[in-house]
Amino acid sequence: MTQSAPDPRHDPVLIAEVVAGLAPAPGEVMVDGTFGAGGYSRALLAAGADVYAFDRDPDAIAEGAPLVAANDGRLHLIAERFSRMEEALAERGVGPVDGVTLDIGVSSMQLDRAERGFSFQADGPLDMRMEQDGQSAADFVNHADEAEIADVLHHLGEEPRARRVARAIVAARPITRTADLAEVVRRALGHKPHEKKDPATRTFQAIRIHVNRELEELEQGLAAAERVLAPGGRLAIVSFHSLEDRIVKRFLRERSGAMPTGSRHRPDAGAAGPSPSFEAVAKPVRAGEAELARNPRARSATLRVARRTAAAAWPVSYKGVPS
């Protein structure tokens, strides 16, 4: 059977660069940790690889069924967080893999569907849950205390006036719609219609990351990828903001032995650490003008690629050198 046509709802960012970094070959086994609309998986399948794709969003799993059927057993779609890829692959008898890719954060599919509540571009219920289960964004803004909301906005949204926004949110409760939350934030920050960036962007980012525990998921997912990759296996990570990229950059610097070696004020804590588990860490890649014109979402994307060594995966408890 032939593969189905690319899904016009989702143009994967840096697709050519991700595929080049993963260098899939016929018969190799690749993990697409963030299936979404299947863009990366399609490209890997087209190169002849077998793909184990993960997504925690039930909509992505359901809508990926035709692609599974079109690929004669070469695509395995798994309803699971990518942080659990090691356990999920082991349950299926899959050994070390040749490549892992992760496209971090919210997908275009999720953003474009007002009923999912991820965006203020169109009004919808204040939800933001990738798994469609557990605490929603509305639960958080309506029940958390002001100090907790301010902390989330400051640390996860890098909102400089987090306390003012948190105070406004508490005063406006209950808030159940994305448009209502966006308007509360705009009023609190004195938004002017001509301003290029909507000030609600930082608040929506922070609440989404908090509700879905995205940074914890990323940290655990990187460690899981380290454990499932075979020697010589390739890792390709696309991130979309500084909080994500900082985690990926530090992970690869640490695991490749490129962390600072200390000084007379800070002894060399890394010298006796584990052997480097990654090498050939490439310089970060960003989208070119042609892709930006075609896909504006790529503007904030950063790709980092590295190759697995034969060294053992680092212990989960190992913290390395403070940054």
Annotated binding residues for S-adenosyl-L-methionine, written as ranges, equal: 38-40, 55, 82, 103, 110
Per-residue exposure over 76-103, b if at least 16 CB sit within 10 Å of its own CB, e if not: bbbbbbbbbbbebbeeeebeebbbbbbb
- C-alpha span between 66 and 304 (Å, rounded): 31
State the CB neighbour count (10 A cutoff) for residue 13: 25
In the chain, where does DSSP find H-type helix? 15-22, 39-46, 58-63, 65-69, 85-91, 108-112, 137-143, 146-157, 162-172, 178-189, 200-212, 214-228, 242-255, 289-294
Find out whether the peptide bond into 174 is cis, omega within 30 degrees of 0.
yes
Binding residues: 38-40, 55, 82, 103, 110
Q: Could you tell me which of 211, 201, 58, 215 has the C-alpha nearest to residue 137?
A: 211
